[in-house]
Amino acid sequence: GNSVTQMEGPVTLSEEAFLTINCTYTATGYPSLFWYVQYPGEGLQLLLKATKADDKGSNKGFEATYRKETTSFHLEKGSVQVSDSAVYFCALRGNSGGYQKVTFGIGTKLQVIP
């Protein structure tokens, strides 16, 4: 079946540091890939997505590139802010049993300190 593997957190960074959160996946066919963010006390929000190989999703300074050769979709940001503190979930949407199904990773907690 489909699966998503994320680096375990928590990740603690100083403000303006470079962020990378690793995500790799296993899926048949050509899944779509997503990063969701969950701020404290809130529901999940879509951060960015990519629907085919070599696509780059970007939003709010975050980027991730769909790498089919390495089955990866790593999340990056050049300079994090305290307001980026949240839990980040990598997810894929792929074919499972004849219909589209979303599979989430376990989430990576990011804490940015001033």
Helices (H), the chain: none
Q: Which residues bind another protein (CB under 8 A)?
A: 4, 30, 32, 34, 36, 42-46, 49-51, 89, 91, 93, 95, 97, 99-102, 104-107
- Considering beta carbons, is residue 14 or 45 the nearer one to another protein? 45
Beta carbon of residue 79, minimum distance to another protein (angstroms, whole number):
27
Q: CB within 8 A of 35, min separation 6: which ones?
A: 23, 46, 47, 48, 49, 57, 62, 64, 73, 75, 88, 89, 90, 91
- Considering beta carbons, is residue 37 or 112 the nearer one to another protein? 37
Beta carbon of residue 86, minimum distance to another protein (angstroms, whole number):
14
- Considering beta carbons, is residue 18 or 30 the nearer one to another protein? 30
Distance CA 84, CA 81 (A): 5
